[in-house]
Amino acid sequence: MTNKFEVGQIIEGKVAGIQPYGAFVALDDEVQGLVHISEVTHGFVKDINEHLSIGDTVNVKVLSIDEASNKISLSIRATVEAPKTRAKSERKNPVIQQTSDNTEGFNTLKDKLQEWIDQSESREKTYKN
């Protein structure tokens, strides 16, 4: 197996099978390797079927070769450049800042503290009688 493939090599293969944990990719007529679900693409993959289908031709990078167990670990995402991260100001859900002039909603703890103390003292008196 090592005379055909080397760690770090990029190879074109065909998706031969899909499981919830990853996809099996045929590298030639005799050898298959596994692309773990975390190595399919950059970012989170909930359902591998949204990214790959049986018969798809994909470029994969050989991550490791285990001669003892005859297993090859592959990565699709290692063959693709990572997307640029967006600046905080460009994100979809910007942080909404509250203004202090808003009189509705929650009061701060400091504002409510004396009210709670008064309520507690009045309740305490009802139990002592």
Tokens of 16: 């031969």
Residue type, 107: N
Residue type, 121: E
Cα–Cα distances in Å, from 19 out to 12, 22, 46, 54, 69? 20, 5, 12, 11, 19
> Which is it for the CA torsion 18, 19, 23, 24, positive or negative?
negative
pTM confidence score: 0.62
String of DSSP letters for 88-105: GGGSSSPPPPPPTT--SS
Q: What is the pLDDT along the chain (129 residues), one digit of tens a residue?
A: 557 889 999 999 999 999 999 999 999 988 999 999 999 999 899 999 999 999 999 999 999 999 888 899 999 999 988 888 766 555 566 666 655 555 555 667 777 888 888 888 888 877 765
CA distance 37 to 46: 9
Kindly state whether residue 124 falls inside one of the protein's structural domains: no
Kindly state whether residue 53 falls inside one of the protein's structural domains: yes
CA distance 1 to 67: 7
Structural domain tally of the chain?
Answer: 1
Kindly state whether residue 106 falls inside one of the protein's structural domains: no
Where are any strands of DSSP class E within 37-127? 57-66, 71-75
Domain with 21 in it: 10-79
Residue 67: which CATH number? 2.40.50.140
